[in-house]
Amino acid sequence: MGIRRKYIRPVMLLAIGAVIVTEIVALSPSSLEEGKPGPLAVEPEALILDNEPSLIPGFPQRKIAEYGVEDFRFVSIENGNKQWRIEAKRAFMYNPERLVHSRRMKAFLYDPEGKITTITGDESKYFLNNRNLEVFGNVKTLFPDGFELNSDYLRYKPEQHKIEIPRQYRVHGIGEENAGKKLQFLSKGLDYQMNESLILLNEAVRVTLSRIEPRADSAQDVPLNKTQDATHRGVPDATLIESDQCLINRKNNLAKFTMDSNRRIDTRFVHISQPHLTSRSRRADLNYGDFSTLLKYMTAYEDVLIKDTSNPKSLRYATGGRADFDNRGDMIVMTEFPQVYQDQDTVTGDIITIHRDTDIVDVEHSNAFSQGTN
């Protein structure tokens, strides 16, 4: 005997392999009885259809799902461990494709330590055979440490504990860090290895480190306590770094900026901008950890050029193989054949320290000094 097509609304627990679905509103597949179509228990208009426009490329429209689910709950389990859990206002299950499509969804991703990353979006889809989750439209990802990602698309691979956003999608990240700082970035695409807390920004990277608390600019406003002094001095209110790629290690608060090796050599520079200062170099590191314990918060490497524009009447710039931005004060320490130019004067030495709040330049083991007319 065949199975009649019917409409049921149980509250039940349905196990599918290693996944669990709850609160199912199910439509059993239509069948034939003695070679003839069986009678319908409900009118077609009463079926739960997925008639809304979809953000998912190539997704079939007006296709009747085998199951329509309201107040959807779904848990993906591998070897007894939760991989992720989904909640959605409505979901549709397509048996031939082993595909689940949900709307107004929220996902909870579990890492090996039990910490939870939450994702919200307009739509999602996943295949029951590989458990990869894709989210579309107004995607917001909130990590356990409070860091937030915003994009139009996201793919989660639970077996690798990896989040991927292809380069055709813009990504905006934002988070408050130690000692009253805010780290933000924009990029085209992103790969996040959750187990290692590594974020790779793939293209057109703009990272900004800014101060949330007001900075003590005058001598009488600078705190007497040395720890507070290190926190409030040595870093401008905003540092902008632009590069082709950036690798951010969330465990040690270190961001490494690099350029695409396929670029022309004359354009292959990381650019750094601060109030009254610009810099370029082949690569750079930004340490955005606790400023009260840092000796330097940023380093530029290879073919470094720094321009100080704080005095409009006297342009000062420096070149060298390395520049360390010292957190103990407004200083830049130049090494590896450094040279400093101011007005018509040029000085070289082993180590050159530029004091940004004064016109003083300290030179260790000076080996040349020149005055010129140009």
Rg (CA), the chain: 29
If one compares 111 and 204, the residue with the highest pLDDT of the two is 204
Separation between Cα atoms, residue 349 and residue 334, nearest integer Å: 9
User: Which pLDDT score, from 0 to 100, does residue 231 have?
Assistant: 44
Higher pLDDT, 98 or 45: 98
DSSP H helix total and E strand total for the chain: 1, 30
Domain ranges across the chain: 1-145, 160-374
CB 200 within 8 A of CB 245: yes
Name residue 144's amino acid: P
**What whole-number distance in Å separates Cα of residue 71 and Cα of residue 170?**
31
Closest by CA position to 109, among listed 192, 199, 12, 14: 192
Give CA–CA dist 147/173, Å, rounded: 7
The confidence score (pLDDT) of residue 372 equals 56
Q: Which residue has the higher pLDDT, 130 or 173?
A: 173
Q: Does the pLDDT at position 101 exceed 70?
A: yes
CB burial readout 337-364, b (16+ within 10 A) else e: ebebbbeeeebbbeebbbebeeeebebe
Q: Is there a common fold for 1-145 and 160-374?
A: yes
Report the pLDDT averaged over residues 122-136. Answer: 87
pLDDT tens digits for range 304-323: 999 988 776 666 889 999 99
Architecture of domain 160-374: Sandwich (2.60)
Q: For residues 90 and 72, is the Cβ–Cβ distance under 8 A?
A: yes
Task: Please tell me the pTM assigned to this model.
Answer: 0.78
Instruction: Single out the residue of 309, 308, 320, 313 nearest to residue 347, CA to CA.
Output: 320
Three-state DSSP at 369 gives: strand
Percent helix, strand, coil in the chain (nearest 5)?
Answer: 5, 55, 40
Distances in Å between the Cα of 229 and the Cα atoms of 51, 179, 278, 288 are: 61, 12, 25, 17
User: pLDDT for 36-54, tens place per residue?
Assistant: 444 434 444 444 556 677 7
* Average confidence (pLDDT) over 24-29: 37
Is the pLDDT at 253 greater than 80? The verdict is yes
Give the chain's length: 374
Name the percent of the chain lying above pLDDT 70.
72
DSSP-derived 3-state class of residue 221:
helix
**Per-residue pLDDT tens over the stretch 332-359:** 999 999 998 877 788 888 898 888 777 7
Cα gap 363→254, rounded to integer Å: 29
Report the amino acid identity of residue 149: L
Question: Cα(132)–Cα(159) distance, rounded to whole angstroms?
Answer: 8
Question: In this model, does residue 35 exceed pLDDT 50?
Answer: no
pLDDT of residue 134: 94
**What is the DSSP annotation of 133-200?**
EEEEEEEEEE-TTS-EEEEEEEEEETTTTEEEEEEEEEEEEEEEETTTEEEEEEEEEEEEEGGGTEEE
Residue closest to 213 by CA, chosen among 247, 266, 177, 163: 177
**HSE (side-chain half, CA atoms, 13 Å) at 204:** 11
Average pLDDT over the chain, rounded to whole?
Answer: 77
Higher pLDDT among residues 16 and 250, named by residue? 250
Contacts of 274 (CB under 8 A, 6+ apart): 236, 238, 239, 240
Q: Hey, what amino acid is at 191?
A: D
129 has a pLDDT exceeding 50: yes
Query: Considering the domain 1-145, what is its CATH architecture?
Result: Sandwich (2.60)
Q: Which of 131-135, 233-237, 254-258, 325-329 has the lowest mean pLDDT?
A: 233-237
Alpha helices (runs of H) in the chain, residue ranges in sequence order: 226-232
DSSP state of 226: H
The proportion of the chain whose per-residue pLDDT surpasses 90, expressed as a percent, equals 36
More confidently predicted of 280 and 127: 280
